[in-house]
A = this chain, B = another copy of it.
């Protein structure tokens, strides 16, 4: 239990056995069926979720009812509505499972206590969020500066697993496109080979 989470933690900040045992007290396992919600808009986000197994997405819904995916999380990734989590304001994102999934949840209380009591947890969190920041900055840069074709190639190069496992119309949504447009871009790329 928590194997993948602890492995991820140790790869960033080395823990002793006692520390591992200590942390386990603050973790909660959770299983989700495909299509099940982990978080719904207007709920208050009470956890950070680490994906042990499976796949999730975070998305917002606009006035026209259209979904816009802002993040995927596969094995080894973390997902949450951080703003809601930290401020206790209602969430602006929905999070649900794209496949049957196994998660490790860190509740808000657990998060705060761990920050207090285990400096290594703060270090782990800092490293995680810094990595997430850099990854998102790259995504943003690619959006404002690369042509669509590049962006799609980039995405498949960087996250081949996501492109394989996730339906194409969700990839389109993640890129801010209509499914038809992505389909046409793929055709164009295929034609060039």
A interface with B by C-beta (< 8 Å)? 60, 62, 66, 68-70, 82-83, 86, 92, 119, 122-123, 125-126, 129-130, 132-134, 136-141, 143-146, 173-176
Q: How many copies does the complex hold?
A: 2
Please, which residue of chain B has its CB at the minimum distance from the CB of A87? B134
Tell me how far the C-beta of A162 lies from the nearest C-beta in chain B, rounded to whole angstroms: 16
Contacts of A86 in B (CB 8 A): 130, 134
Instruction: List chain B residues, Cβ under 8 A from A60.
Output: 141, 145
Query: By the criterion CB–CB under 8 Å, are A140 and B140 in contact?
Result: yes
Whether B145 contacts A68 by the Cβ 8 Å rule is yes
Majority secondary structure, A binding face? helix
A37 and B136 alpha carbons, distance in the complex (Å): 24
A92→B140 CA distance, assembly (Å): 13
Residues of B within 8 A of A145 (CB): 60, 62, 66, 68, 176
